[in-house]
Amino acid sequence: MSNNIVLGDNQYGKAEVRVVKVTRDTDRHQIEDLNVTSQLRGDFQAAHLEGDNGHVVATDTQKNTIYAFARDGIGSPEAFLLRLSEHFTSGFEWVTGGRWEAEAYSWDRIQAHGSEHDHSFVRNGQEVRTAVVVREGATTHVISGLKDLTVLKTTQSGFVGYPRDQYTTLPETTDRILATDVSARWRYNTGLDVAGTDFNKSYDDIKALLLEGFTENYSHALQQTLFDMGKKVLEAHSEVDEIKFSMPNKHHFLVDLTPFGLDNPNEVFFAADRPYGLIEATVQRDNTAPAPIAWSGIAGFC
């Protein structure tokens, strides 16, 4: 057995830098709100093995760079991360790549006296937008996504035909509530023209397609609905190679009201937060090349 101990894969950076950019070029202000993580990869062996920090771009420097770049505007989380990746890989020759991640939080204008206010906002809690840029040498991967998008339909869903054994107590049903928190991430082609891509428009369209896909068709299982949602996105967006989902089945159980002399015609439910079914899957084109380095570090997706 060898006693040689060597340094394996490594990265480092500044995590969860909260940056809010307010654009004030007119009386009608704009707000952009991000949580950014920067991690660098490259020749950092001497720092680990010899305590030589000659190649260590301080995490504080990475934080300051994020704030400085925000001064010129953000535009979209993806575009902002791409700017950071270009800066660090071109500015330091020993930085060969890295991983940059962001969560974006939406704000809506407050309605005041029948119109949208110019500089007062209310947090939009519908979902959190996500973005990841992974750069390795000359290859750049862009992954967009969202999480905590809670959806529910009150009918057109059932669950029957599953195997039964001595531990199965779940009754079959052809009419149930289907609810889930959608977490989805989609990877763009590596040949994507990032300069010519409107990531904000693409995000809005893909989110709308996911919601439409959830509503369409009778759902025989959450797995089927998941696939329908992913297929709808890939059919409409040739620039997307694959989309990954992680979706809990938020169970709603019919309450027995007979002890109170009442019927319950599928109207009163107990919403259980745990335990829950957890459905995860990738929907992809049949000729999609795997990109494991792009997904490394993204937990909760198969």
Does 159 belong to an annotated binding site?
yes
- Residues 6 or more apart whose Cβ sits within 8 Å of residue 261: none
Q: Which residues, at least 6 apart from 104, have a Cβ–Cβ distance to it below 8 Å?
A: 32, 33, 34, 77, 128, 129, 130, 131
Active site residue 154: no
129 among the known binding-site residues?
no
Q: Are 103 and 143 in contact (CB under 8 A)?
A: no
List, in order, residues 6 or more apart from 214 with CB less than 8 Å away: 151, 153, 182, 225, 229
Known catalytic membership, residue 251? yes
Q: Which of 29, 59, 154, 282 is catalytic?
A: 59
Distance CA 171, CA 155 (A): 17
Spot the catalytic one: 141, 232, 250, 251. Answer: 251
Task: Flag whether 266 is marked binding.
Answer: no
Is 223 labelled a binding residue? yes
Catalytic residue among 14, 21, 63, 232, which? 14
Does 124 appear as a known binding residue?
no
The question of whether 59 is a catalytic residue gets the answer yes
Triad 226, 294, 181: Cα angle to 5°: 30
Q: For residues 59 and 279, what is the distance between their CA atoms, to the nearest angstrom?
A: 36
- The reply, when asked if residue 214 is annotated as ligand binding, is no
Return the active site residues: 14, 59, 251
- Residues at the binding site for O2 are 249
- Residues at the binding site are 59-60, 159, 176, 223, 249
- Residues at the binding site for urate are 59-60, 159, 176, 223, 249
